[in-house]
Amino acid sequence: MVHYRNPKLVVGTIPEWENGILLCRRAIEPRYDKWTLPAGFMETSETTAEAAARETLEEACARVEMGEMFSLIDVPAISQVHIFYRARLLDADFCPGEETLETAIFSEAEIPWDEIAFRTVFLTLRQYFSDRRNGSWQFHMMTLPMPYSSGDVSSQR
């Protein structure tokens, strides 16, 4: 018998509303009480875009119009790939889902940078705001270097 161990896909959105971004405060470990983009593990029989929209609905009760893939970050130390899509909130009718303590819209200046749960989310948000300032949207592909220290938030996802 052959047993394969394959990496997990974590997919999510950068939900845009006017000049801000919707973030979720986590109600689960790892990184309980820290802020993140709505994201989670892809399930079988889903596309990455479908999974990202589903996770946004589950974590923030938010309906979105999916945009283009924005970032893909390889995290080899924990055998994961994180993918984030730009998405437009269809309305401001959002609220915390089961795995979320709080949801809120943040402008770039309001983002709680010291309270971001994962390094992949931090990097994605930095690239997002940089692209927005430059008026030029690009696809961003990165690899988080190994090894991670125990304090590296990206290793806790």
pLDDT in tens, 17-36: 999 999 999 999 999 999 99
How many whole angstroms separate alpha carbon 40 and alpha carbon 137?
24
Whether the CB-CB separation of 156 and 104 falls below 8 Å is answered with: no
Does the pLDDT value for residue 150 go beyond 90? no
Amino acid in the structure at residue 142:
M
Measured CA to CA in angstroms, residue 33 lies from 66, 127, 151 at distances of: 27, 24, 16
The predicted model scores a pTM of 0.91
Does the pLDDT value for residue 124 go beyond 60? yes
Task: Tell me the CATH number for domain 8-145.
Answer: 3.90.79.10
Of 72, 98, 95, 61, nearest to 11 by C-alpha is: 72
Does the pLDDT value for residue 122 go beyond 90? yes
Q: In the chain, pLDDT over 90 holds for what percent of residues?
A: 88
